[in-house]
Each structure stands twice: as structure tokens, then as C-alpha cells.
């Protein structure tokens, strides 16, 4: 324009992005006059254009449009507002508005002023190409004259939906909403593009495939699609395509991002409510204003003993559900009357009781609800008897836990990694000698550890917080009473989303255990010393005595030979006893377990039988077939058979004892039977014969030898027993087969 167009700007109460002052500040092609009032009788011929908000101090913008058109039919009027809608736009255009501009309150003032300037320039100059967004070909797209184009543009710009006209697959027209929805800065970037540019290749192929038949058959296709291009990724829109003629289509885009978000939120909320409803320990029933059941959980059915699930009650009229509930209560009439009274009152009711036919008392409450389609009711039922029973059981459990913790001297602790707050259980506080009200800080807790252990526990805790590595170690603490105690502290990391959020662990007093271990170490050292004495000093000296006695046989008379035989017999018995004592010491000095390994049974058993035959020439020791199997044992296995054979011969009351050794086996077990023809073992002694201390080291009877047998076989994971026999005693040793 050569001269500035004169514009009357009628401002109202619209929260528009651009006021008359802002418009003047950012534009230079218009001579703007501002006013806040207007009159239907006033003429506005001195202006080239009138711009009005919708919400005015007197009347509204549509009324102003009608008044101006009545007094000045050729004067263009533009309604510019942020509070209008499609109805406002339609009414304004019908009243004769030259244009309807929906203010973009999210744009900057400068951008919005420039946009309004273009629209006013188009109206004032009457340029048809500007009136349709400067889109070449829009007239061809609509097939109308300039007046129709202006009307079309006004109507299209008044809606929030994106409108695009395409010819032979290329966009020839688009409104501002289409550009915004599709992610372009303006319609100029959208017009001229093929429609496939708005979608990923796979999505474009799907749209083309699915829409072709529908457009051919009905001239219309609609679906939800994904918009994807260089500046936009995955925006969901609702797309409706309508065929205009053989080459042209009009597409309507509606952004459904927010709708999808709300749907996802609704689905998540519903899923959460369903899970919550299902996990509640109370029965729940929700009904709407028409008394149709909207929700019920399984717990409700359990409380009333209904043979159905909560889902099966959903959607049913309450009358149908009530019939089933009435069958499960002791006084159906009172239940129904009270229910109707509560519903009629419509208020909050708590603590009313219902007795079931099983004589269980339910407590119910009623809460009025405000639903989208009216009012509703929330009924909650809980088993009061069960609640009291569970509380009593819980308290018994807590009491039992406290007793167990006190008996075992085990407490618990927890450290919050975020707040650094430390919590001790009652037993942990007792172990430290502090009152139950005591709440320690981390530094105070570390202060209980003796100085030499303090940095070690600090390092373990810090490492667990940083890396999640747990710990279980022994430490020494000093209680508030000054007593030193050994404790076992254990801690592990608690993670959420991969991060350590807390540490939890146990705290146990092991002072007595450590004392026992130290005593055991002392005893073991003493036993090892005794073992060396037995194996070397005593055995060596006795071997010398036996050797010299044997040499003396050729130098004594008949009476002396009898004495010499007694010396040799006692000497050999003493050597035998040192072997037994040595094996016993090695076993007792252990920790109650044995390192076992596959051991060939045949070699061990044959060696011991051969040795016993040499030791007891007057005895008959028979050995049956021995399978080539391996058993779980260790080098002391020979001591088991040696002591059983010694026991069988030594306790015989005749001059020529007979001992029979046999072996049986299956896939898992090998049984070695040692049977003698001696006096047998009384039934009262069979359960205790392998016990420690039944006979002492100085006893000739069943004593340490059989104790050693029982101890070793137990350590091997086997079993030894005495069986009934007609004559004599039969010992059975069962060993694990490990072939």
C-alpha cells in the first residue's frame, strides 16, 4: 500500500496476544486508532478497516460486525479474539465479517502482530491470494471464484483442525492449523510437498493401501496415523480424507496427542485401581446413581461366601447382587432396610454391622461419590473378627520374634542412603546397652566399635553404599557399660531402579561362640601335642620294650617265658591302644566334619583283616567277596574296621573266636557286616554303645574304640548299628558309594 491504511482497533476484555499498542509498535503499514466503545448509530466511513475483539464493554464483537455492515456495507470488519470458537467464527462470518482471526496466545507479540498485519493487509487490499494464505493453486483446489475463496479461507481458519487440499498427491493448500499440527513453521513449507513427506515410508505405504479402497468405494477414509518427518517424530493425528474429484482430496488433521495421553493416563489409572481393588484386605462395591454395580472385588465375594468373582458382579443391577447377598446374611430384611435407608440418606455412614449366616461379623461403611454422570455409592466391608484375630496373631508373631531375637542375640538395622538415617531394632539396642528410646546417628553407631575395628566397619558400610557389595564379618564393640563383645555384623544393599537406596542387615552377639572357638583352638593344640607324644615318645618307647622282650625269649626259663609272654602281650596291646588313641585324637581335634574322598574299600578292608589275623592267631577271621567299589571316607577308614575286629575278638569269652566279615552293596550304599560268635551285646546297650565316655581310655571293654567308629562313620555321612543275632553280635557299617 502506498499510504498507511486507517484502522479502528476496538479493544475489549479478550486476553489477546496483541493489543492495539503492540500492533502499532511492531507494524508500520497502518494508521491505528484505538477505542474501547462503539455505537450502532455511528458511521465509520473515515476508516479503511475495523478490527474488534469479541468480549467488549458493551455487547460483543459479532454485534459490532452487524452494526458496522449495516451502516457501512463496504467497510471490512475483522473479528480478532482468543475467546471464540467455531460458533463465534460462523456467527461473525454470517454477520458479514471480512475475516475471523483466532489469536495465538502462545506466540510472541512480534510474531502475532506480523500475522495480524498480513491478514489485515489482505482484507484491506482485497487480494484474493493473500486471503487464502498466498497459496497459488488454492483457487484451482476449491474450484470457486474469489468470493468463495475468501469465505472458504475464513471458515477453515476458524477451526482448530488442520485442513489440507491435495492434487495428484501434492499439497496445494493448507491452513495455519495444518502447518502447526504437522510441525512446519508455516503453510509455505507445507504447500507443494507430496503427502508422503509427512509419514515414515512404512506408514505411508499402509495409508495408501488402506485408504485406496475406501476412497474408491465411499469417497472417504479415516484412521489414526503417525506424522513423521525431518522436524517431527511420531506425532499421532486423526486423519480424515475425502475425495473431491478424480485428482483432488481434502484431508482433515486433528492432533490426538493430548487425547492419547489422557487415554494412557486413564488406562494406567484404571489398571492401578484394579490392582488396588484386588489387593485390598476389605470387600468393596461401587454403584452408580441407577444402582448398577461399577466395580467389586474378590474380597467382597469371599466375605459373603459368594461362589463368584468381583468381575462377575460388574455391570449387574444392584437388585440382582442384593438377592445373593441376602442369602448370605442372618437377617436379610434388616440388611435390606438399612441399605435402602443409607442410600436414601445419601450421606457418610460408618461402623454398621452385618452378621453372616456363618456367624461372622462384618463392619460396613458407605461413602457418597460424585461421578461424571451423577452420584454414586462406595460400600466397604471388613471382617472385624478376622481383623482382631490377625492382630492377635501378629502380636504373637512379634512377641515370638522378640523372644527369638533375644534368645539368639540377633538384632537388625537399616540405613537410609538418602537421609543417612539409621534405625536399630529393640534387640540391637539391647546388645549395645542403650535404652529403647535411643536413636543413633551413623557416627555414634561407629563409635561403639573398638578403635582397631572401627575403620574396617566404616569401609565396609561405605563400599556397600557405593557399589552394593554386601558384607558379613566379625567385629568387637564396647557397650555403654564398658563390656567388650564380639559381634557378627551383616549388611546388604537394597536397590531401586539400579541405585542403592538403603542398607539392611543383622547384628548378632557371638561372644560365647568366639570364646568356645578359642577354647577349641587351645584344646586342639593340646590334643595335637598329645598326639605327637602318643605317636612318637610312648609308641617308640613301647616298641623298644617289645623288641627287647622278644630278644629275651632265648634267655629265660619256662617260668620266665610265661612272664615274658605277658610282657609281650601287654606291650602289643599298648601299641594297639596308641594306634586307637592316635586316630581318636585326630578325630576329636577336628571340627566335627571330615574331608572325605573316594576311597577303595577292598584294599582297606583286606589290609585290616590280614593284620588282625596276624595279631590274633587263635581267632578265625573270615572275609567274603569284596566288590571293587569306592566309598566316601578318608585315610582313617581302616581304623573303623580295625576297632570293630578288635572288639569282636577281645570280647569273646572262648579260646577260638570266629569273626565273619561280609559286604553288600546297591547303587547308593555299601554295607560291611562284622559278625562274631561271642556273648553278644545287651539290647539296653545297643543305642549307647557308640557314645563318648561309655568306657574310658583305660577300659578293656567297649569304649573309645567304638566311640571312634561311630564318630568317623558319622563324619563320612554313613551309619553304624548293632543288629540282633542268634549267637554273638553283628555290627553293620553303611557307607555312601561314590563310584
Confidence at 599, pLDDT banded by 50, 70, 90: very high
How many residues does the structure list for the chain? 739
Name which of 210-224, 481-495, 663-677 the model is least confident about.
Answer: 210-224
Give the pLDDT of residue 139.
Answer: 47
- Greatest Cα pair distance, the chain, in angstroms, is 167
Residue whose C-alpha is closest to residue 240's, from 225, 228, 252, 257: 252
What percent of the chain lies above the pLDDT cut of 70? 82
Confidence at 398, pLDDT banded by 50, 70, 90: low
Residue whose C-alpha is closest to residue 411's, from 421, 397, 401, 420: 401
DSSP-derived 3-state class of residue 377: strand
Count of beta carbons in the 10 Å neighbourhood of residue 331:
12
Residue 22, pLDDT > 80, answer yes
Give the pLDDT of residue 582.
Answer: 66
Phi, psi angle pair for 471, to nearest 5°: -150, 155
Give the pLDDT of residue 698.
Answer: 35
User: Residue 236 pairs with which residues in a beta bridge?
Assistant: 226
Contact (Cβ atoms closer than 8 angstroms) between residue 151 and residue 97: no
Confidence at 408, pLDDT banded by 50, 70, 90: low
Confidence at 389, pLDDT banded by 50, 70, 90: low
| Mean pLDDT of all residues in 543-563 | 77
Residue with cell 458493551: 58
Which structural domains are found in the chain, ordered by start? 6-130 (3.40.50.2300), 159-260 (3.30.450.20), 280-388 (3.30.450.20), 447-589 (3.30.450), 594-736 (3.30.565.10)
pLDDT tens by residue, 246-288: 788 888 888 777 777 877 887 787 777 777 777 788 888 888 8
Chain center to CA of 102: 50
| Mean pLDDT of all residues in 510-519 | 86
| Radius of gyration, alpha carbons of the chain | 51
Burial class (CB in 10 A: 0-12, 13-18, 19+), 77: buried
pLDDT tens by residue, 633-647: 988 898 899 889 988
pLDDT tens by residue, 572-590: 666 666 666 666 666 655 5
CA distances for 221 relative to 76, 224, 251, 703, angstroms: 38, 11, 10, 100
Confidence at 665, pLDDT banded by 50, 70, 90: very high
Confidence at 124, pLDDT banded by 50, 70, 90: confident
The pairing of beta strand 77-81 with beta strand 99-102: parallel
The pairing of beta strand 499-509 with beta strand 484-496: antiparallel
Residue whose C-alpha is closest to residue 124's, from 29, 22, 43: 29
Kindly report whether the global pTM for this prediction surpasses the value 0.85: no
Residue 534, pLDDT > 70, answer no
SS3 string, 261-318, reads: HHHHHHHHHHHHHHHHHHHCCCEEEEECCCCEEEEECHHHHHHHCCCCCHHHHCCCEH
Say how far apart CA 662 and CA 242 lie, in whole Å: 100
Contact (Cβ atoms closer than 8 angstroms) between residue 539 and residue 573: no
Helix and strand totals (H; E) in the chain: 25, 27
Contact (Cβ atoms closer than 8 angstroms) between residue 203 and residue 225: yes
| Mean pLDDT of all residues in 565-578 | 70
What percent of the chain lies above the pLDDT cut of 90? 22
| Mean pLDDT of all residues in 513-520 | 84
Cell of 383: 471382617
Q: Please report the sign of the dihedral spanned by the C-alpha atoms of residue 431, residue 435, residue 436, residue 438.
A: negative
Residue 133, pLDDT > 70, answer no
Residue 175, pLDDT > 90, answer no
Say how far apart CA 727 and CA 709 lie, in whole Å: 22
Confidence at 486, pLDDT banded by 50, 70, 90: very high
Contact (Cβ atoms closer than 8 angstroms) between residue 160 and residue 177: yes
Cα first-last separation, the chain: 108
Residue 699, pLDDT > 50, answer no
Angle among Cα 317, 318, 320 to the nearest 5 degrees reads: 75
Residue 712, pLDDT > 60, answer yes
Cell of 59: 455487547
Give the pLDDT of residue 664.
Answer: 96
Give me the chain's average pLDDT, please. 81
Amino acid at each position: 500500500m502506498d499510504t498507511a491504511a486507517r484502522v479502528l482497533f476496538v479493544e475489549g476484555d479478550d486476553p489477546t496476544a496483541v493489543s492495539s499498542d503492540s500492533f502499532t509498535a511492531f507494524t508500520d503499514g497502518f494508521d491505528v486508532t484505538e477505542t474501547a466503545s462503539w455505537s450502532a448509530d455511528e458511521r465509520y466511513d473515515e476508516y479503511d478497516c475495523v478490527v474488534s475483539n469479541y468480549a467488549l464493554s458493551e455487547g460483543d464483537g459479532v454485534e459490532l460486525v452487524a452494526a458496522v455492515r449495516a451502516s457501512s456495507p463496504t467497510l471490512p470488519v475483522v473479528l480478532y479474539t482468543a475467546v471464540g470458537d467455531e460458533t463465534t467464527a460462523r456467527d461473525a462470518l454470517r454477520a458479514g465479517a471480512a475475516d475471523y482471526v483466532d489469536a495465538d496466545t502462545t506466540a510472541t507479540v512480534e510474531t502475532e502482530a506480523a500475522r495480524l498485519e498480513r491478514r489485515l493487509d489482505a482484507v484491506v487490499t482485497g487480494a484474493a491470494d493473500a486471503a487464502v494464505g498466498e497459496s497459488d493453486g488454492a483457487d484451482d483446489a476449491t474450484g470457486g471464484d474469489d468470493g468463495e475463496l475468501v469465505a472458504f479461507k475464513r471458515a477453515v481458519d476458524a477451526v482448530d483442525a488442520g485442513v489440507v487440499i491435495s492434487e495428484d498427491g501434492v499439497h496445494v493448500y493448507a491452513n495455519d492449523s495444518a502447518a502447526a499440527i504437522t510441525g512446519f513453521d508455516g503453510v509455505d513449507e507445507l504447500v507443494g510437498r507430496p503427502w508422503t513427506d509427512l509419514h515414515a515410508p512404512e506408514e505411508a505405504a499402509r495409508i495408501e493401501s488402506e485408504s485406496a479402497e475406501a476412497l474408491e468405494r465411499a469417497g472417504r477414509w479415516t484412521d489414526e496415523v503417525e506424522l513423521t518427518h525431518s522436524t517431527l517424530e511420531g506425532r499421532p493425528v486423526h486423519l480424515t480424507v475425502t475425495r473431491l474429484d478424480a485428482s483432488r482430496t481434502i484431508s482433515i488433521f486433528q492432533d490426538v496427542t493430548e487425547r492419547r495421553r489422557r487415554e494412557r493416563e486413564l488406562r494406567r489409572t484404571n489398571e492401578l485401581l484394579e490392582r488396588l481393588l484386588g489387593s485390598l484386605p476389605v470387600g468393596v462395591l461401587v454403584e452408580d446413581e441407577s444402582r448398577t454395580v461399577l466395580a467389586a472385588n474378590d474380597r467382597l465375594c469371599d466375605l459373603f461366601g459368594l461362589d463368584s468373582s468381583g468381575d462377575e458382579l460388574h455391570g449387574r443391577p444392584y437388585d440382582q447382587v442384593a438377592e445373593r447377598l441376602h442369602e448370605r446374611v442372618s437377617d436379610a430384611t434388616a440388611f435390606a432396610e438399612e441399605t435402602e435407608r443409607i442410600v436414601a440418606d445419601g450421606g457418610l455412614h460408618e461402623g454398621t454391622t452385618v452378621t453372616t449366616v456363618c456367624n461372622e461379623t462384618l463392619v460396613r461403611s458407605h461413602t457418597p461419590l460424585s461421578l461424571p454422570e451423577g452420584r454414586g455409592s462406595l460400600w466397604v466391608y471388613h471382617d472385624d473378627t478376622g481383623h482382631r484375630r490377625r492382630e492377635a496373631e501378629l502380636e504373637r508373631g512379634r512377641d515370638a520374634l522378640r523372644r527369638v531375637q533375644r534368645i539368639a542375640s540377633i538384632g537388625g538395622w537399616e540405613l537410609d542412603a538418602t537421609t543417612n538415617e539409621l534405625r536399630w531394632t529393640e534387640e540391637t539396642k539391647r546388645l549395645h546397652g542403650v535404652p529403647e528410646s535411643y536413636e543413633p546417628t551413623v557416627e555414634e553407631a561407629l563409635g561403639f566399635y573398638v578403635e582397631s575395628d572401627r575403620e574396617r566397619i566404616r569401609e565396609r558400610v561405605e563400599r556397600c553404599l557405593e557399589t552394593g557389595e554386601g558384607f558379613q564379618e566379625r567385629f568387637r564393640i564396647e557397650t555403654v557399660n564398658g563390656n567388650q563383645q564380639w559381634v557378627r555384623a551383616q549388611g546388604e544393599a537394597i536397590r531401586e531402579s539400579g541405585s542403592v537406596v538403603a542398607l539392611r542387615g543383622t547384628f548378632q552377639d557371638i561372644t560365647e561362640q568366639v570364646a568356645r572357638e578359642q577354647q577349641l583352638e587351645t584344646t586342639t593344640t593340646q590334643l595335637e601335642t598329645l598326639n605327637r607324644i602318643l605317636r612318637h615318645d610312648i609308641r617308640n618307647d613301647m616298641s623298644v620294650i617289645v623288641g627287647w622282650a622278644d630278644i629275651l625269649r632265648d634267655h629265660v626259663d619256662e617260668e620266665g617265658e610265661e612272664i615274658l609272654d605277658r610282657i609281650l602281650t601287654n606291650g602289643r596291646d599298648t601299641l594297639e591302644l596308641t594306634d586307637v588313641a592316635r586316630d581318636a585324637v585326630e578325630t576329636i581335634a577336628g571340627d566335627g566334619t571330615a574331608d572325605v574322598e573316594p576311597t577303595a574299600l577292598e584294599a582297606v578292608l583286606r589290609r585290616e583283616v590280614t593284620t588282625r589275623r596276624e595279631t590274633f592267631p587263635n581267632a578265625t577271621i573270615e572275609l567274603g567277596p569284596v566288590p571293587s567299589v569306592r566309598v566316601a571316607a578318608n585315610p582313617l577308614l581302616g581304623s573303623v574296621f580295625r576297632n570293630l575286629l578288635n572288639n569282636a575278638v577281645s570280647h569273646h569269652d572262648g579260646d577260638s573266636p570266629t569273626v565273619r566279615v561280609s559286604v553288600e552293596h546297591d547303587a547308593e550304599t555299601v554295607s560291611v557286616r562284622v559278625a562274631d560268635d561271642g556273648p553278644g551285646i545287651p539290647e539296653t546297650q545297643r543305642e549307647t554303645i557308640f557314645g563318648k565316655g561309655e568306657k574310658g581310655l583305660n577300659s578293656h571293654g567297649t569304649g573309645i574304640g567304638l566311640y571312634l567308629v561311630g564318630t568317623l562313620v558319622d563324619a563320612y555321612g554313613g551309619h553304624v548299628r548293632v543288629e540282633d543275632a542268634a549267637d554273638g553280635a553283628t555290627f553293620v557299617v553303611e557307607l555312601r558309594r561314590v563310584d
